[in-house]
Amino acid sequence: MRHEDKLTRTSKGLYIIYKNLHKSFGPQHWWPGETPFEVMVGAILTQNTNWQNVERAIANLKKNKVLDPKKLSQLPHKKLAKMIRSAGYFNIKAKRLKNFLKFYLESYNADARKMRQADTQVLSNELLKVNGVGEETADSILLYALNKPVFVVDAYTKRIYSRHGFIAEDARYQAVKELFMKNLKNDVQLFNEYHALLVRLGKEYCLKSKPRCDSCPLSKQNHKYD
């Protein structure tokens, strides 16, 4: 098979899945955060953690009126850790937040608009240098806080697309990201909605222990695309 044919078929497959999900679930209105800064904080707090637990932590920061770059960065470790307790890994996440805040304040004066003006690849490299910000967190910040066109890959994405035969189970982050970015239109809104829909699908139908493939919106496609 010619490379272009496969590319076209993959593109179509990925887009059909998107349309199915959008039809089933509707727009997801991501990211659930009021400001770019809140999105950045949420991106770090939600690492390997249920979003409900993160919401409690963010609500707690708001209640204490410290959801602000300078105030958060000046908060003693113990106080910060206590406030974000519900998000789990609170000691390590308090450190990670501080690491990010230092970068955000020193490099961009805690100004999301200024940050947004920077080149995407430059920003990506800078974010990945922050201890505690990995590939998914960096891309989440780029896409959902700064509206940069990058595709966010998470555990659900890998699970869903390996089960559907697009990638290997142990595919690397960058490989999965490329699959989407090379086969979809480079569109912030599309990337925003697609990832959000995959999380929605994952939560409801693709749990590790109890997948519900029978009633899944993609069940008609029956895990066959090739």
Partner DNA sequence: GACCAGGCACATC
Partner DNA sequence: GATGTGCATGGT
As measured in angstroms, the least distance from the Cβ of 158 to DNA is 9
As measured in angstroms, the least distance from the Cβ of 215 to DNA is 16
For DNA, the closer of residues 68 and 204 by Cβ is 204
Read off the tokens for 83: 């406030």
As measured in angstroms, the least distance from the Cβ of 63 to DNA is 14
The contact pattern for DNA, residues 114-143, with x = CB under 7 A and - = no contact, is ----------------xxxxxxxxx-x---
Query: Using CB under 7 A, which of 172, 182, 185, 223 touches DNA?
Result: 172
| Alpha-carbon span 34 to 37, nearest angstrom | 8
As measured in angstroms, the least distance from the Cβ of 130 to DNA is 7
**Binding to DNA by residue 77, rule CB under 7 A?**
no
Binders of DNA among residues 25 to 64 (CB under 7 A) are 30-32, 42-43, 46-53, 56
For DNA, the closer of residues 31 and 161 by Cβ is 31
| Alpha-carbon span 211 to 15, nearest angstrom | 23
Residues within the interface to DNA (CB under 7 A): 30-32, 42-43, 46-53, 56, 85-86, 88-93, 130-138, 140, 144, 154-156, 170, 172, 199, 202-203, 207-209
